[in-house]
Structure 1
Amino acid sequence: MKKDIILKAENISKQYRLGQVGTGTLSHDINRWWHLIRGKENPYLKIGDTNDRSTKGTSDYVWALRDINFEVERGEVLGIIGKNGAGKSTLLKILSKVTAPTTGSIKSRGRIASLLEVGTGFNGEMTGRENIFLNGAILGMTKKEILSKLDEIIEFSGCERYIDTPVKRYSSGMTVRLAFAVAAFLEPEILVVDEVLAVGDAEFQKKAIGKMQDISREGGRTVLFVSHNMAAVKSLCTKGIVLEHGRVVFKGDVEDCISRYYMSDYKESKNEFLGIYELKNHRDKENLFGIYKAELFCDNQLSDTIYAGSMFKLRLYFDSCRDFYEGEIGIVIKDSDQISYLGLNNKHLGTNIIVKEGKGIGEILIEDFPLFANGDYWINLYFGDKGPNYEGLENAIKFKIIGEDVFGSGRKLDTAWNRIVHKKISIKTI
């Protein structure tokens, strides 16, 4: 069966010069022009740092995006996820034709409506009603088409009382409500939505996600959705792409994309299948101590899989530049939606930990593991001294939980019971 491709990105790259508008200098513009008339490549495409906001870099040029390729089918809801600064908003601006790519091309079929930032495309001096007509005209709608949807747009936005008030007097939430209603109800073939929905209240977010689902499922329209709310991405999207430092590092089913997104702080190990995790050697802010390795055991066997009701043991290897006598070792276990299921440390158990200078080992033992649902889980690790100096490793360990016949009924557990016997938990140093 032939694919019905409505949007295609081919080798999209975007380069910026830091601290400057445009190319920044006349000499660079002349140099580009001189290469162009001789039929040669732009010389500044050969330079530039990777888009990593956490490093200083050596060049004034940075690649916000590099060699982005993907296709979107009609009726598909594509989630675009990644950390702040990964290039998501830049990509959406290129797809919406707000800015042009440095290299590559976008091919699309049909109108594109975008909701990129609070108030984008709105004139603050004009009323909400006037802005509906303005945005509709920008989208290529006739006045008759806009009038036919006007009442629905106003009702959905929930701003009826203020619809004839200048938009500059709207709150950011009201502005987003009206902007989303315009973009959704004027029936574009492709709807592009950035993180702006987070500005709205819970009731509006629920309505907006429901509307996007209706648009894609019933209207056969395409949605590109960017959000840091993974629960919303999971419920709305069918496919996804993960951006890191301006590049696509993964694309596929949305659940696999979310899992890969959480792995951005997680260092894979060749021994991972054995339950051995070589961790990034993070240190506390004064560089006094850090965890460098972890081992996960199920019933005293190294494993990355824990069976419900089994013995769970996590062994942490750390080093310290000094002694401390009121140490803390703790974990938080989260599901694939990053919802915390269990958090504990030795202080909760009323035990004290003494850490000696040099290398050491800590151990967290749960003899009767909580009866969580089947699936992938993540562990945050916490280690440190009493006071402000703590090391926290987010999503340091990924493991799987599998239900077992813990009650001897002949049926394996596949839903969460969250049963835990606190007397069988211990945290200690070895």
Structure 2
Amino acid sequence: MSSNTILKVENIGKQYRLGLVGTGTISHDLNRFWNKIRGKEDPYLQVGEVNDRSEKSDSDYVWALRNISFEVKKGEVLGIIGKNGAGKSTLLKILSRVTSPTTGLIKTKGRIASLLEVGTGFHPEMTGRENIYLNGAILGMSKSEINKKIDEIIDFSGCLKYIDTPVKRYSSGMRVRLAFAVAAFLEPDILVVDEVLAVGDAEFQKKAIGKMQDISNSDGRTVLFVSHNMAAVKNLCTKGIVLENGKSIFEGSAEESVYYYLNRQSKLNTQNLLKRTDRKGTGEIRFTKVELLNFNNNSVVELLSGEYARFRLHMFFFEREINHNDLVFGLVIYDQNENKIADYYSDEMGIKFTNIKSYVDLEIPKLMLRGGEYYITIVVQTAFRVVQQIDVIHRVFNFKVFSGDHWKAGKVNRATNVALMEGKFKNDYS
């Protein structure tokens, strides 16, 4: 392990038995025990399935994690991304020594403080102040060291009024506030934070993320961060790994990891629209597919608020003699409550088409939608003399917007209301 590496994970695996604890038979238990005292591998480790919780199991064993390896250097913030059940929390519990790995090796330098669940490590009968000293002692700190930090911890947590009250009377939000303050201010070399910050309110989340940035930037300490908030991962982390079914499927920068994760679902909206029977229009042109592309030209179904977006409308011409100069393309965005959010029409932008071959694009430099679920309706019509609809399909494409720090103010925008967006239609680039 290099001098600048503070955490090294080598081929970590965690296997669980489904149902009963143990192998299920005395002979298997004795076989496992005999191999263990001889220093040999557990014979049942080779038996087990990938951790896909959506499928019926044909084995008694499952790998929650399998062959996970990575390194984290001092001062880095590692974001761990994945769907529910991907193995994120299991990995953090192993790194925090809450549970041991079935296979593999972990090398660390320094103290590790973890915030995995609401009030992890707190004794419910002890007061908040007593729990601060208890957690500090667990981290190996002396009483004098804790005394120097205790005022900052209490002030940051915002629990001054209740600090001498037993923790069992705290709300879940108060527990998270105090637990995070203890973990952050008692100066661990590695801070491990699970999704628990979602329990706190928006003000505290902003404070917590700011504190984690200070820990890594100013103090040069390392943070391991798990969150489903892609904006927080992108803004806070310097690198990321993506887990799926217990395996690491991608490792790179935080931005690369976020977009890799978001792009995994891109094939869900590639159905052939020619099969739709609920369309309107004369039919000389038929839409065949809609794609949402990000700034890397990747097809996605999820984006961050405020980022570049391009809707690509694929089509087939049944009648090639149509004058393309007369065509008007439209795209209308609705929220999930059928409220119209924004619409774009090419003629209002002064766009004239000359030779459309297979698709047109609507470019939106900044997708000024707040976090939420949306869908679109697409239109092609002619504006020559009298408007005549050629093809209109309602609800052709669903996509999701994650709240983001669009204004770079350290605050994620609210998941309500919307803002107007700029956009411009372009002909295909062939």
Shift of 1:216: 0.4
SS at 1:212's partner residue?
helix
The aligned amino acid for 1:126 is: M
Shift of 1:262: 1.1
Structure 1 343/107 Cα, relative in aligned 2: closer, same or farther at 3 Å? same
The aligned amino acid for 2:422 is: R
Aligned to 1:122: 122
Aligned to 2:365: 372
Shift of 1:21: 3.5
Shift of 1:278: 5.4
Structure 1 26/280 Cα, relative in aligned 2: closer, same or farther at 3 Å? farther
Q: Which moved more, 1:93-102 or 1:39-48?
A: 39-48
Answer yes or no: is the 8 Å Cα contact 1:296–1:315 preserved in 2.
no
Aligned to 1:214: 214
Shift of 1:13: 0.2
Aligned to 2:257: 257
Aligned to 1:70: 70
Structure 1 204/25 Cα, relative in aligned 2: closer, same or farther at 3 Å? farther
Structure 1 212/39 Cα, relative in aligned 2: closer, same or farther at 3 Å? closer
Q: Is residue 2:161 matched to residue 1:166?
A: no
The aligned amino acid for 2:421 is: N
Aligned to 1:203: 203
Shift of 1:27: 3.8
Answer yes or no: is the 8 Å Cα contact 1:331–1:343 preserved in 2.
no
Answer yes or no: is the 8 Å Cα contact 1:9–1:69 preserved in 2.
yes
Answer yes or no: is the 8 Å Cα contact 1:267–1:280 preserved in 2.
no
Shift of 1:313: 1.9
Q: How many residues align?
A: 332
Answer yes or no: is the 8 Å Cα contact 2:124–2:168 preserved in 1.
yes
Answer yes or no: is the 8 Å Cα contact 2:51–2:63 preserved in 1.
yes
Identity of aligned residues (%): 63
Shift of 1:53: 1.2
Answer yes or no: is the 8 Å Cα contact 2:334–2:376 preserved in 1.
no
What is the distance in 1 between the residues matched to 2:107 and 2:15? Answer: 20
Structure 1 13/280 Cα, relative in aligned 2: closer, same or farther at 3 Å? farther
Shift of 1:367: 7.4
Answer yes or no: is the 8 Å Cα contact 1:372–1:417 preserved in 2.
no
Aligned to 1:418: 421
CA deviation vs aligned residue, 1:218-275 (integer Å, no higher than 9, x gap)? 000000000001111111100000000000000001111001111232349xxxxxxx
Answer yes or no: is the 8 Å Cα contact 1:49–1:62 preserved in 2.
yes
Aligned to 1:353: none
What is the distance in 2 between the residues matched to 1:310 and 1:138? Answer: 52
SS at 1:45's partner residue?
coil
What is the distance in 2 between the residues matched to 1:130 and 1:80? Answer: 32
- Normalising to structure 2: TM-score of the pair? 0.68
Structure 1 169/39 Cα, relative in aligned 2: closer, same or farther at 3 Å? closer
Aligned to 2:320: none
What is the distance in 1 between the residues matched to 2:161 and 2:152? Answer: 14
Answer yes or no: is the 8 Å Cα contact 1:123–1:131 preserved in 2.
yes
Aligned to 1:294: 289
Can you give the 5+ residue segments of structure 1 that lack an aligned partner in the other structure? 269-276, 282-292, 317-329, 333-341, 350-364, 384-389, 396-415, 425-430
SS at 1:248's partner residue?
strand
What is the distance in 1 between the residues matched to 2:144 and 2:79? Answer: 33
CA deviation vs aligned residue, 1:385-425 (integer Å, no higher than 9, x gap)? xxxxx998657xxxxxxxxxxxxxxxxxxxx982369xx9x
What is the distance in 2 between the residues matched to 1:344 and 1:119? Answer: 37
SS at 2:243's partner residue?
strand
Q: How does 1:382-401 map to 2 (within 5 A)?
A: none
Answer yes or no: is the 8 Å Cα contact 1:51–1:246 preserved in 2.
yes
Shift of 1:297: 11
What is the distance in 1 between the residues matched to 2:226 and 2:271? Answer: 29
Q: Is residue 2:90 matched to residue 1:87?
A: no
Shift of 1:296: 5.1
Structure 1 143/16 Cα, relative in aligned 2: closer, same or farther at 3 Å? same
Aligned to 1:359: none
The aligned amino acid for 2:17 is: R
Q: How does 1:7-406 map to 2 (within 5 A)?
A: 7-21=7-21, 23=23, 26-37=26-37, 40-267=40-267, 294=289, 312-315=312-315, 342-343=333-334, 369=362, 371-373=364-366
Shift of 1:343: 3.7
The aligned amino acid for 1:186 is: L
Can you give the 5+ residue segments of structure 2 that lack an aligned partner in the other structure? 274-287, 300-307, 317-329, 342-357, 368-372, 378-394, 401-418, 426-430
What is the distance in 2 between the residues matched to 1:280 and 1:103? Answer: 46
What is the distance in 2 between the residues matched to 1:309 and 1:185? Answer: 40
The aligned amino acid for 1:53 is: R
The aligned amino acid for 2:5 is: I
The aligned amino acid for 1:369 is: L
What is the distance in 1 between the residues matched to 2:212 and 2:152? Answer: 15
CA deviation vs aligned residue, 1:137-156 (integer Å, no higher than 9, x gap)? 11111111011101000000
Answer yes or no: is the 8 Å Cα contact 2:177–2:204 preserved in 1.
yes
Q: Provide the alpha-carbon RMSD of the alignment.
A: 3.9
CA deviation vs aligned residue, 1:58-114 (integer Å, no higher than 9, x gap)? 111000000000000000000001000000000000000110000001000000000
